[in-house]
Amino acid sequence: MNEIVIKNKENEIFNFEFEGHQIRSILIDGDPWFVGKDLAEALEYTDPISAMRKLDKDDKISTLGNDSLSSNIFYGNNNKRAYPTLINEPGMYSLIMGSKLQTDNVTRFKKWITHDVLPSIRKHGGYIYGQENMTDDEIMSRALIVANSKLIALEEKNERLKNENVEKTSLMELLQGSKDRYLASEIAQCYGMSAISFNKLLNQFKIQKKVGGVWTLTKQYEGSEEEYMISTFKNMWENKEIVGKRKFNAWTKDGVLFIYKTLKEHGIVPTIENAITVVEG
């Protein structure tokens, strides 16, 4: 029997299961964070703690001594209170790509979490366990049970976005006009990520690497027929005077489309497209 296993209040723990593995998660500022140990075990890491140590510090957060997460109570196998490390979405992709086994189980997990869990969380603020095997009517029937809390959560999120003046942009909207270059921060916004997290993601997929503090294409893409990156400069100011220029690379239109196609092959699509996929599915 399918059960609704997610509660939609901010920072409230919800649980779901993948092939016998429990995976716990919470929403922080509307973004899903997962218990790192749960992810690592589902991905068949023999040493989950070591795997999490290798993640960038921006992609993980400890619940120990974190006042904002003090209301969340996690329990270990011995039913005693535990303080697990939480992993964000970029960190999860790092664990997926870092799994040396790359078994069918890892492949199924990646497809399941990118095609079912994440799109559902982004669209509804929740995931209904087993929903991939349910009809639309069954999903709607069970979703009505938590409809009230979803509406409250949605209202709170809309109010927060309004106050922060956050504007979601589709890639097609971004590419309209005569611009010849696009910043990583502009593209990242379409995916609901920060520029830092987005650049790390592109690095993990071996699209770009950092050379002398500047993100550049990896060798396999440097000789492409299309020009994916273009050099640009930013003025460096000191005491209201320009004291120098800093070089960085921006993305061309061909580069943005290349990023889109590459990430989509791995089940990663812009936020708006994810929402459309859930509605049409």
Instruction: Say how far apart CA 23 and CA 28 lie, in whole Å.
Output: 16
Instruction: Say how far apart CA 223 and CA 219 lie, in whole Å.
Output: 8
Strand partners, 244: 236
Q: In this predicted structure, what is the pLDDT of residue 228?
A: 92
More confident residue, 28 or 35: 35
Q: In this predicted structure, what is the pLDDT of residue 266?
A: 83
Q: In this predicted structure, what is the pLDDT of residue 217?
A: 93
**% of the chain beyond a pLDDT of 70:** 64
pTM for the structure as a whole: 0.48
78-87, 102-111, 203-212: which range is least confident on average?
Answer: 78-87
Q: In this predicted structure, what is the pLDDT of residue 76?
A: 55
What pLDDT digit, counting tens, does each position of 58-75 carry?
A: 888 876 655 555 445 555
Helix (H), strand (E), coil (C) string for 22-77: EEEEEEECCEEEEEHHHHHHHCCCCCHHHHHHCCCHHHEEECCCCHHHCCCCEECC
- The residues, ordered by sequence, that sit 6+ positions from 204 with a Cβ below 8 Å of its Cβ are 90, 93, 94, 97
The mean pLDDT value for 251-279 works out to: 78
Q: Can you say how many angstroms the Cα of residue 99 is from the centroid of all Cα atoms in its chain?
A: 18
Indicate the SS3 state at residue 209.
strand
What pLDDT digit, counting tens, does each position of 186-207 carry?
A: 998 888 888 888 999 999 889 9
Instruction: Say how far apart CA 89 and CA 25 lie, in whole Å.
Output: 11
Q: In this predicted structure, what is the pLDDT of residue 252?
A: 92
Indicate the SS3 state at residue 193.
coil
More confident residue, 273 or 111: 111
Q: In this predicted structure, what is the pLDDT of residue 80?
A: 59
- The residues, ordered by sequence, that sit 6+ positions from 106 with a Cβ below 8 Å of its Cβ are 43, 44, 96, 99
160-174, 215-229, 255-269: which range is least confident on average?
Answer: 160-174
115-119, 189-193, 267-271, 273-277: which range is least confident on average?
Answer: 273-277
Q: In this predicted structure, what is the pLDDT of residue 70?
A: 47
Q: In this predicted structure, what is the pLDDT of residue 122?
A: 60
Q: In this predicted structure, what is the pLDDT of residue 82?
A: 62
Q: Can you say how many angstroms the Cα of residue 199 is from the centroid of all Cα atoms in its chain?
A: 12
Residue 9 sits at φ, ψ, to 5 deg, of -75, 145
In this structure, the strands spanning 14-18 and 21-28 are antiparallel
More confident residue, 81 or 264: 264
The mean pLDDT value for 92-112 works out to: 77
Instruction: Say how far apart CA 155 and CA 10 lie, in whole Å.
Output: 12
Q: In this predicted structure, what is the pLDDT of residue 114?
A: 76
Of 68, 57, 2, 75, residue with least CA distance to 29: 68
Question: Does 146 score more than 50 pLDDT?
Answer: no
Question: Does 84 score more than 60 pLDDT?
Answer: yes
Question: Does 120 score more than 80 pLDDT?
Answer: no
Domain-wise residue ranges, the chain? 14-163, 171-275
pLDDT tier, 167 (very low <50, low <70, confident <90, very high otherwise): very low
Question: Does 215 score more than 90 pLDDT?
Answer: yes
